[in-house]
């Protein structure tokens, strides 16, 4: 079925979960007409969620309900053939995500998700990247707090440097960017379970990804900083963050020549006191050990089950900001330093639902203007400045600080 004649612009799988409901609510509040459906295994639960959503959005058109199962390929293909974009909030994605990616590729349907699972993203690139590119399909992982503030934040920083230095100079430059994450919030059950399932193979992923970048530099030196170190800042201590975000940033850098002839990125979380950093590190190390075993992962998963989240008044007290510090050296010119900040509200739920929904809306409503980058691509590769503009209009702040 041609995309132009498909009955739906967006189908959301996972609306019975907490973040899925927030995403559906965001889509129902859109002013532009949107052909939208909710999908899942249980029609009764979806109908209940729809009634709750419509009670909060009485003027919105009721979304249709479609039945599909994450592990039933026939139902997924039928679903994907009816829509231009699929959103999925059903994780852990390593357990429930692959068949939907495959269905999107075969049915010519774009895809966005919230995963922060590095092994899943790497596996989808290897299995479906070439086919998705050949089919002009955009499979866009990591469209929540992992990894849009970081990926689009560096993209915004590069834009600011381009205005300052010019495209030609920047393309010849040595660009080093460091990101410093600060915030107050609550990790979602979905993120918690995804992280636990990613831990057993984390070291293999890091080794394979570094090797991949070394082999595919294409004449440019684009890399992760392999061993970022602990450092003291004015407002606390910065420790390396073991997340997927640096790999996403570096993939975008490989795509765009204006990231420099050489580009490196390092990623840190900022903690106010050293003793809190030590306690956090010890807790993460303990969780990592327990997560190496199946029974341990099951036990950890029950500590924070998917599908629940904090009340609106609690989320209203949550916030984040990511500070980017760029050091740029252009041959035969003075070195340039630039600082930018990306900031917003509750990172784990409200802002994540906003980022996910705006990514899908961008793929639908801005499609004719988007970069012709297809395959398993990052948010910056897939949507670039058009997603950046949407996020700014939706209330996320992207600022140059000097």
Q: Is 324 exposed, middle or buried (0-12, 13-18, 19+ CB in 10 A)?
A: buried
In a domain, 222, yes or no: yes
Range of the domain at 309: 148-346
% pLDDT > 70, the chain: 84
Same domain as 158, residue 60: no
Identify the band that residue 207 occupies on the pLDDT scale cut at 50, 70 and 90: low
Cα torsion angle, 179, 149, 258, 401, sign: negative
Q: Where are the alpha helices (DSSP H) in 35-72?
A: 43-56
pLDDT for 215 equals 47
How many C-alpha atoms does 159 have within 13 Å on its Cβ side? 16
Same domain as 161, residue 296: yes
Same domain as 367, residue 329: no
Question: How is 302-313 classified by DSSP, letter by letter?
Answer: HHS-TT----HH
Mean pLDDT of 69-86: 97
Low-confidence winner among 89-93, 170-174, 339-343 (lowest mean pLDDT): 89-93
Provide the token pair at 358: 């705006």
126, pLDDT greater than 80: yes
- Last residue in a domain, options 330, 346, 362: 346
Say how far residue 150 (Cα) sits from the centre of its chain.
9
Mean pLDDT of 323-348: 95
In a domain, 390, yes or no: no
Instruction: Say how far apart CA 401 and CA 325 lie, in whole Å.
Output: 10
Identify the band that residue 242 occupies on the pLDDT scale cut at 50, 70 and 90: confident
- What's the mean per-residue pLDDT of the chain? 89
189, pLDDT greater than 80: no
- Last residue in a domain, options 300, 330, 346: 346
The total number of structural domains that make up the chain: 2
Instruction: Say how far apart CA 255 and CA 305 lie, in whole Å.
Output: 37
pLDDT for 73 equals 97
| pLDDT digits 0-9 by tens, 18-29 | 999 999 999 999
CATH number at residue 50: 3.40.50.720
In a domain, 400, yes or no: no
The whole-model pTM stands at 0.92
* DSSP β-ladder status, 36-40 and 8-13: parallel
Same domain as 51, residue 30: yes
Structure-derived torsion over alpha carbons of residues 95, 382, 186, 226, reported in degrees to the nearest 10: 80
Answer yes or no: are the C-beta atoms of 271 and 236 closer than 8 Å: yes
Same domain as 166, residue 83: no
| pLDDT digits 0-9 by tens, 388-401 | 999 999 999 999 99
Same domain as 61, residue 191: no
CATH number at residue 155: 3.30.360
285, pLDDT greater than 70: no
pLDDT for 87 equals 98
In a domain, 359, yes or no: yes
Same domain as 63, residue 125: yes
Mean pLDDT of 58-87: 97
In a domain, 397, yes or no: no
Same domain as 174, residue 133: no
Provide the token pair at 283: 């807790």
Same domain as 172, residue 314: yes
| pLDDT digits 0-9 by tens, 353-401 | 999 999 999 999 999 999 999 999 999 999 999 999 999 999 999 999 9
Same domain as 224, residue 198: yes
Say how far residue 329 (Cα) sits from the centre of its chain.
29
96, pLDDT greater than 50: yes
pLDDT for 185 equals 81
Same domain as 238, residue 201: yes
In a domain, 399, yes or no: no
Instruction: Say how far apart CA 178 and CA 180 lie, in whole Å.
Output: 7
Mean pLDDT of 49-59: 96
Same domain as 107, residue 164: no
């Amino acid at each position: 079925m041609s995309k132009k004649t498909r009955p739906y612009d967006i189908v959301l799988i996972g609306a019975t979960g907490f973040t899925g409901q927030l995403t559906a609510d965001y889509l129902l509040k859109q002013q532009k007409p949107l052909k939208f459906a909710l999908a899942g295994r249980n029609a009764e639960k979806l109908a209940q969620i729809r009634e709750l959503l419509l009670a909060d959005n009485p003027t919105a058109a009721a979304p249709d309900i479609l039945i599909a199962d994450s592990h039933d390929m026939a139902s997924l293909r039928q679903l994907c053939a009816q829509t231009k974009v699929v959103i999925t909030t059903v994780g852990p994605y390593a357990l429930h995500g692959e068949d939907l990616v495959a269905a999107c590729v075969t049915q010519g349907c774009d895809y966005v998700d919230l995963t922060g699972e590095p092994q899943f993203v790497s596996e989808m690139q290897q299995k479906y990247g070439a086919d998705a590119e050949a089919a002009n399909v955009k499979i866009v992982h990591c469209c929540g707090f992992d990894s849009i503030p970081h990926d689009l934040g560096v993209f915004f920083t590069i834009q600011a440097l381009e205005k300052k230095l010019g495209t030609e100079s920047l393309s010849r430059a040595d660009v080093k960017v460091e990101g410093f994450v600060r915030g107050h919030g609550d990790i979602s059950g979905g993120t918690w379970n995804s992280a636990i399932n990613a831990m057993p193979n984390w070291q293999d992923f890091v080794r394979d990804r570094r090797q991949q970048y070394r082999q595919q530099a294409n004449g440019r030196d684009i890399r992760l900083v392999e061993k970022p170190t602990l450092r003291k800042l004015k407002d606390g201590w910065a420790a390396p963050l073991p997340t997927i975000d640096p790999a996403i940033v570096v993939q975008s850098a490989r795509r765009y020549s204006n990231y420099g002839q050489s580009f490196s990125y390092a990623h840190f979380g900022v903690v106010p006191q050293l003793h809190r950093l030590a306690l956090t590190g010890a807790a993460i190390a303990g969780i990592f050990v327990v997560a190496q075993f199946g029974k341990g992962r099951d036990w950890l998963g029950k500590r924070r089950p998917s599908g629940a989240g904090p009340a609106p008044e609690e989320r209203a007290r949550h916030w984040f900001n990511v500070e980017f510090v760029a050091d740029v050296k252009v041959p035969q010119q003075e070195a340039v330093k630039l600082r930018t900040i990306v900031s917003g509200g509750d990172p784990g739920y409200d802002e994540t639902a906003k980022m996910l929904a705006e990514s899908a809306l961008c793929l639908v409503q801005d499609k004719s203007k988007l970069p012709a980058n297809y395959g398993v691509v990052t948010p910056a590769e897939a949507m670039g400045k058009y997603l950046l503009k949407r996020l700014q209009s939706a209330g996320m702040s992207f600022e140059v600080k000097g």
